[in-house]
Each structure stands twice: as structure tokens, then as C-alpha cells.
Chain A
């Protein structure tokens, strides 16, 4: 156990986060600040997926549903009930985790591809429900495909930077604690051999549910922040399966079930799409596809995962 190396990485991580907190004071360019915010945003979201799927090995193919629920809760709370942003934000997280709890109980009994299909189906179902609910019941609640326009915040980019940074910080920090805790060892045991974990005393249901619910809580927060940032949401935007795919790819690229995986993967993918997107507007998606394929071929366990194996170096 290289807990010393882990501690050094933690200190570096805390240092970088502290340094980032002062960033808006120095960065002149709004574009750069926004780009950095987006990177941090995706690190957090990919981290949410990793928290559940990376550690337990249960491939969640519908995490976007909790993102979407977060968006809708904040939108409805703010527009229909006039609740200010921060209480609404908290409400989003709580609602997302509550739904995750109820959905998790039946779906986490499924294993392998069946779990992936069930979560995917649930995400699609939620999209359809928000789309059709108002028309079916003749009410005006989710506002279907018209979407909801949130109150214009009037906040600048640094406000959202400071919204995203602490949440991502908590997500990454949660990874560190998962790595070194009883809970985390339980999750990793479930990933390796679930029955063996159960007979070794791991309460598999409670552990899986714990990971699923915490992942949903943070996704709800991110969904809420994005809704307030963009100020206009529709079901097909916030429940878009592309978000799920992006979380999965970022984590796989960085390394599943590792502390730094989502950080590296999300940074790499966001920056590279930004760099290529500006220069090769028409072809950049093809190029990114190629890069992902090559990266996965060379490093099947992701950047961090492969480093860990090649160097026989055990760190988070």
C-alpha cells in the first residue's frame, strides 16, 4: 500500500484547487475562464459516473437522468415557487438522490448488460415523461417541448466558476475517501466478485445503493448549475444520451475506478475538442473519434489505469 504517494497526490490536488480558487482574479479573458469552468464541470460529471460505475463495475447507462432531474427541479423551484437559486440547488441534489434511491432498489439487483439497459431505459422514459406530462394531464408543469426559461441570473462567468469548483472538488475528494475507506473496499470487492463479497460480510445492496445515491446527488447539483447557467432547458437537452456517452468516454479514457481517471480523461477530451473544434470545424468530430480509438487501443485501461499497470505502481 502506497498510502504515502496517495497522500502526496492529495496534497497536490488540494494545492491546485486552492490555486484555482484565485483564478478569476487573474484571468482576463472571459473565453478562457469559461473554458476552464467547462473542464472542471466535466471532471465533476465524469467523476459522478466513475463513483458509481468505476468502483462497482455496474455500468450505468442513464446517469444523465439525475442530471436532468436536477435541471428540472431547479427550474421548477425557481420559476413556479420563486425559491432562490442556492436553496433550489440543494433541493435538486436531494430530489435526484431520492429518485436514485427508489430506482436503485429494483435496478441494482440486475447485473451486467441488464443493469445498463434498465438505467438507459429509465433515462429515456424520464425524457418522454417530461415531454408528454403536461399534454396528458392538461397542466402546465414541465412545459413539455417548449422548455422552461429560468430567471436570467445576470451573473458573470466567475459566478458559475465558483459554483462548479466546490462541487467538483467534493466529487474528487469523495473519490479519495472511497479509495481509502471501508465503503470503497466494499465497492471494489463487489466489482471483482459480488458473491464472494457478500459472503465475506459486505452488505452489497447497501454499498451499491450508497454509491448510486451519492453519484445521483452530485449529478443533480451539476444539472441545476447548468440549467441556471444556460437559463433555458428542454427535455431533449437535459436528458440527452450524449451526456451519458461523454461521461463514459471521459472516464474510460482516463481510467475507470481510479481517483485521477475522470480528471485526466475529462481535461484531455474537453481541451482537445476545443482545440480541434476551433481549427477544423467540419472534421473535428471525426478526428476526436480517431483519437479515442487510438487511445483505447494503446491504453485499454485508460491513461491512469495503464500507467498503474505498466509501472506496477499502485497509487490512486
Chain B
């Protein structure tokens, strides 16, 4: 089986267990939603996957190759790219150059094919009007798309989107969803961390729910939101009897 697989991944920072024994898998062409309250360990889990943190225990496999503890740039070159929740564009570089870095280094391309790839990706995410602007000077929605473009340019087959739609208005969210569908149709798989339920419910094939670092539920979107444990995690004990979801 190809795709991404996490086996009993735990990440401890001192005494704090940010992620505990989480296992999940991502099949090719699938969109996996990842939800959970703030501090549930979603970002930490993805950071373990792309090699920013080395998990305290557990194994991560990409296309059945063990990538646990590899350097992030190697993992990126193997086809696994993440967009960051905290936007970190290369400020003094233009939007085009930002994406170019992804293509040149992540995609291991030479200058000419990388330039072509960059043009294609910028077109796809709709950043053409900003291409020659400095990335520090563009508005937030464009920066979100820039993060996405940089990850896409590396040619990764699996994209991890960490709250890529935070701070967008409903109209912008619709546009972003269109882009994600295009990306999925091109044969890529995605893991989407998002707080906006409309996004997660609408786009995910499956959803996993984290709370206090542990996976508390997994299933189809409509199943998951009715699980007792999930409602409890989001609304607390008192309100869970109301079954709002």
C-alpha cells in the first residue's frame, strides 16, 4: 500500500505528552480531515510527520519507507509537504521567487523546469496578479495561497494543510475549496487541519479527531460529529447531553 502511515506516534515535551500513541493512515487520492480543540496536538502530530520534531516513540512510513526522524528537507523531497499555520513567507523575495524555492529545492529541479513549474502552480492557485510583488506586501488570503503554492511546487504527492483557511471570509473560503478540489483531482492526497466545520465536513473523505494528544474518533464525516466522545471534547460534559451537532 502506498500513502502515509503513522504507527503509535507519541511526542513528549518534557512531562507534557502533546501526542500520545496516535495511529492513522492516509490512502492515495484521499482527503483526511483532522479536527480537535485547540492544543489537541494536531500541529505537533503533523510536525512529527514532516520531521520538524522527532517523535518520542512510534514510526512513520511514507510509501512503506520509514521516515521517522529524517530531516525535513529529505522528507519534503520524498513528496510530503506542509503549509504552516503561522505564515512564514520569505519576506524579501517576490511571490514568484518564494514558489521557485519550493520547485528548485523541494522538487530538485533545474532552473528552467522549475520556472515553468512555478508559473503553472501560481496559475493554479490564482496568484498571478501578485507574482512579482514582495511576499511581505501581499494580503493574508494571498499569503495563505502562497503557502499552498510553495508546497505544491515541490511536486509533493501528499500535502498537509495546517489551518490553511484561518482568517479567510466565506467568499475566500469558497475559492480556497475550489483550489483544493482541483488539487485532489490532480491525484494528490491531503490532510486538512481546520476549525471551520463547513470546510472539514464538505471536503473530507474521512475525519480523525484528536483531543489531549490522543485520537478519540475516526470515521466518515457525518458519523464522527455524532460520536459522544467528540461532542464531549468540543462542548464539555454538561452540554453534551444536548447533542448540538
Chain A residues at the B interface, C-beta cutoff of 8 Å: 1, 180-182, 185-186, 188-189, 191-193, 195-204, 314
> Is A1 touching B132 in the complex (CB atoms < 8 A)?
yes
Contact (A193, B90) CB under 8 Å given A199-B81, A202-B73: yes
A192/B82 in contact, CB under 8 A: no
A199-B93 contact given A182-B105, A189-B101, CB 8 Å threshold: no
Residues of B within 8 A of A181 (CB): 111
Q: Establish whether residues B104 and A186, one from each chain, have CB atoms under 8 Å apart when the complex forms.
A: yes
Find B84's partner among A180, A196, A201, A202 (CB 8 Å cutoff): A196
Task: Flag if B150 contacts A200 (CB, 8 Å).
Answer: yes
Contact A189 B81, CB 8 Å, known A199-B73, A201-B102, A204-B73: no
Interface on chain A toward B: helix, strand, loop, or mixed SS? helix
In the complex, chain B residues whose CB is within 8 Å of the CB of A201: 73, 76-77, 81, 101-102, 105-108, 154
Give me 6 A-to-B residue pairs in the complex whose CB atoms sit less than 8 angstroms apart, sorted by A's number. Answer: A182-B105, A185-B93, A197-B105, A199-B82, A200-B76, A200-B102
Interface centre among B51, B92, B100 (most CB of A within 10 A): B92
Choose one: A195, A202, A314; the contact of B105 (CB below 8 Å). Answer: A202
Residues in B85-99 with C-beta less than 8 Å from chain A: 88-94, 96-97
When C-beta atoms are compared, the residue in chain A nearest to B91 turns out to be A192
Contacts of A189 in B (CB 8 A): 90, 93, 101, 105
Tell whether B50 is near chain A: CB-to-CB under 8 Å.
yes
Q: A189-B90, A193-B88, A193-B90 are in contact. Are A199 and B76 (CB under 8 A)?
A: yes
Report the bound CA distance from A192 to B101 in whole Å. Answer: 12
Give residues 42-85 of B contacting A (CB, 8 Å). 50-52, 71-73, 76-77, 81-82, 84
Chain A residues, Cβ within 8 Å of B77: 201
For the complex with contacts A192-B92, A197-B90, A202-B101, 12 further pairs of A-B residues with Cβ separation under 8 Å are: A182-B104, A182-B110, A182-B114, A192-B90, A192-B91, A192-B93, A198-B71, A200-B106, A200-B154, A201-B73, A201-B107, A202-B106
A193 to B151, CA, bound (A): 15
Q: How far is the CA of A185 from the CA of B154 in the complex (A)?
A: 14
Q: Are B73 and A198 in contact (CB under 8 A)?
A: yes
- Using a CB-CB cutoff of 8 Å, which residues 129-144 of chain B contact chain A? 132
User: A83: shortest Cβ distance to chain B, in Å?
Assistant: 40
Q: Is A188 touching B92 in the complex (CB atoms < 8 A)? A: yes
Q: A1 to B97, alpha carbons, bound, how many Å?
A: 9
Which residues in A have their C-beta under 8 angstroms from that of B96?
A: 1
Q: Give B117 Cβ to nearest chain A Cβ, in Å.
A: 13
The listed residue with most A CB atoms (<10 A of its CB), out of B84, B88, B114, is B88
Known contacts being A198-B73, A199-B76, is A185 close to B81, with CB within 8 Å?
no
Specify which chain B residues have a CB less than 8 angstroms from the CB of A1 in the assembled complex.
94, 96-97, 132
Closest 7 CB pairs of A and B: A201-B106, A192-B90, A196-B88, A201-B76, A201-B105, A193-B88, A202-B105
Tell me the complex Cα distance, A242–B8, Å: 56
Residues of A within 8 A of B89 (CB): 192-193, 196
| Residues on B with beta carbons closer than 8 Å to the beta carbon of A202 | 73, 101, 105-106
A185 vs B107: C-alpha distance when bound (angstroms): 14
Docked CA distance A186–B106 (Å): 10
Q: How far is the CA of A197 from the CA of B89 in the complex (A)?
A: 9
0 or 1 for each of B188-224: is its CB under 8 Å from A? (1 = yes) = 0000000000000000000000000000000000000
Q: Is the CB of B50 within 8 A of A203?
A: no
**Contact in complex: B50, A186 (CB < 8 Å):** no
Complex-state Cα separation, A195 to B50, whole angstroms: 12
Q: How far is the CB of B192 from chain A (nearest CB, A)?
A: 17
- Residues of A near B82 (CB, < 8 A) are 199
A172 to B91: give the CA distance in the assembly, Å.
25
Contact B105 A203 (CB under 8 A): yes
A1 to B93, CA, bound (A): 11
Query: When the two chains form their complex, are residues A199 and B50 in contact, meaning their CB atoms are under 8 A apart?
Result: yes
A180 to B94, CA, bound (A): 14
Q: What is the distance, in angstroms, from A305's C-beta to the closest C-beta of chain B?
A: 10
Q: In the bound complex, do residue A188 and residue B93 qualify as a contact, i.e. CB atoms below 8 Å apart?
A: yes
